[in-house]
Amino acid sequence: MYKNVARPKAIFTTWLLMWGRLLTTDRLIKWGMQIDPKCPLCCKHEETKEHLFVHCDYAKQIWIKMDNWTTIQHCTISTWDQHLDWMIANSKGNSQGAQVFKIVYSETIYAIWMERNFRIFEKRDREWESIAKEIAYVYVLELLPKSSVLSKIYLSFSICLVAPSKFLFS
Footprint (CB under 5 A) of Zn ion, residues 99-158: none
- Long-range interactions of 34-41: CB distance < 8 A, separation 24+: 39/116, 40/116, 40/119, 40/120, 40/125, 41/112, 41/115, 41/116, 41/119
CA distance 143 to 154: 10
Span near Zn ion by CB under 5 A; candidates 54-62, 76-84, 98-106, 149-157: 54-62
Q: What DSSP character marks residue 70? A: S
Least distance CB 101 / Zn ion (angstroms): 24
| Burial label, 8 (beta-carbon count in 10 A; 0-12, 13-18, 19+) | exposed
Choosing from 11, 22, 56, 144, the residue that interacts with Zn ion (CB under 5 A) is: 56
Choosing from 6, 22, 41, 103, the residue that interacts with Zn ion (CB under 5 A) is: 41
Span near Zn ion by CB under 5 A; candidates 40-48, 76-84, 151-159, 161-169: 40-48
Least distance CB 51 / Zn ion (angstroms): 6
**Interface with Zn ion by CB under 5 A: which residues?**
39, 41-42, 56
